[in-house]
Amino acid sequence: MIRHHIADSSAALVVTTLGVTCETQDSPDLQMASDLADRAIGAIIGAAVADAAAQPMHWIYNLDSLKEVLSKLEPFPEFRAESANPFYRRETGEQTCYGDQAFVLLESLSHCGDVNAEDLTQRTYSFFGPGTVYDLPLNDPYRQKGGPKAELPINGPWRNASLKSFIRNVDARKEETGCEVDCQMDCVTKIAPVVAMFAGRAQMLDKVEMAVRVTQNNDICVAMALAAARFVEHFILNGPDPNVLDAVLGQLKDPARQNPQELDKAVIAHINQVKGNLAKESQELIPAVFTNT
């Protein structure tokens, strides 16, 4: 059930961006441009497929529950037919709220040919706001804490904290619509369309930050998004690379780097932590590094 026009929108976005140069190049350069376009489109579609594949097992924080579910799914947990998500239930193949944000961003880019904060704001509000499938009682952005305990999982998608704050900010006609406190992974999971469109161009990181701040006006989110964008851009421009961690670390340590952030040192520390744990299986890594929330 992954939206069938994601591929068409992705192709149109990337071809529009790269098409002019492709038409005027010699054959070797034309092939390189074609490969680049393929990887850019693949980044968008791959992110959408991965989100849909993980959605039925999203947010299983209890490790014992996760082990039980995984024990019945060997060897492949992707696209589990019946949702095991303890918070919300959608049909297999539908997106999480993170994947849906990427889809909205892709539509905005395809329509505007650029990151247009006003258009993205309107489209995001229309997709996640009042009267949509996300507009469920538990997802009410004005729901007061301390009321009757919710019965979980809900039947329908989950509107997360940053989206609720975004809706309240738009309703209040605030100039800056992004949530200032929620630091979820929206900033990372939705950026593939922006990176695909601007990979290799000097303004890529500026465009990523602009898109992120529409719903997450938070410096931590921006720093993480810019690091993630560097990873995605590296793969789009170069293809598979086992040394990608070192390549991005090199960019983040460069005093002359584009879009330097005060939190870049913290991001570097996290990437080094990843490098130090590469040899561990997830079953060993998760309980050693992370704690239940």
DSSP secondary structure string, 10-69? HHHHHHHHHHHHHHTS-HHHHHHHHHHHHHHHHHHHHHHHHHHHHGGGTT---HHHHHHH
pLDDT tens, position by position, 164-179:
999 999 999 999 999 9
Question: Is 38 contained in some domain?
Answer: yes
CATH number of the domain to which 197 belongs: 1.10.4080.10
pLDDT at 204 over 80: yes
Q: What is the pLDDT of residue 8?
A: 66
Q: Where does the pLDDT of residue 7 fall: very low under 50, low under 70, confident under 90, or very high at 90 and above?
A: low
Q: What is the DSSP code string of 215-246?
A: TB--HHHHHHHHHHHHHHHHHHHH---TTHHH
Of residues 66 and 235, the one with the higher pLDDT is 235
Count of domains forming the chain: 1
Q: What is the residue range of 277's domain? A: 6-289
Question: Is 260 contained in some domain?
Answer: yes
Question: Is 207 contained in some domain?
Answer: yes
Please provide the average confidence, as pLDDT, over all residues in the chain. Answer: 90
pLDDT tens, position by position, 237-251:
999 999 999 999 999
pLDDT at 109 over 70: yes
Question: Is 267 contained in some domain?
Answer: yes
- Identify any residues that bridge with 202 across adjacent strands, giving them in sequence order: none
Question: Is 1 contained in some domain?
Answer: no
Question: Is 110 contained in some domain?
Answer: yes
Question: Is 11 contained in some domain?
Answer: yes
pLDDT at 213 over 50: yes
Distances (CA, A) of 227 to 78, 140, 191, 224, 267: 27, 32, 11, 5, 7
Q: What is the pLDDT of residue 11?
A: 60
Q: What is the pLDDT of residue 16?
A: 57
The residue-averaged pLDDT of 280-292 equals: 77
Which of 18-27, 76-85, 117-126 is modeled with the greatest confidence? 117-126
Question: Is 283 contained in some domain?
Answer: yes
Distances (CA, A) of 179 to 75, 105, 146, 212: 39, 17, 22, 10
Which of 68-82, 91-105, 142-156, 277-291 is modeled with the greatest confidence? 91-105
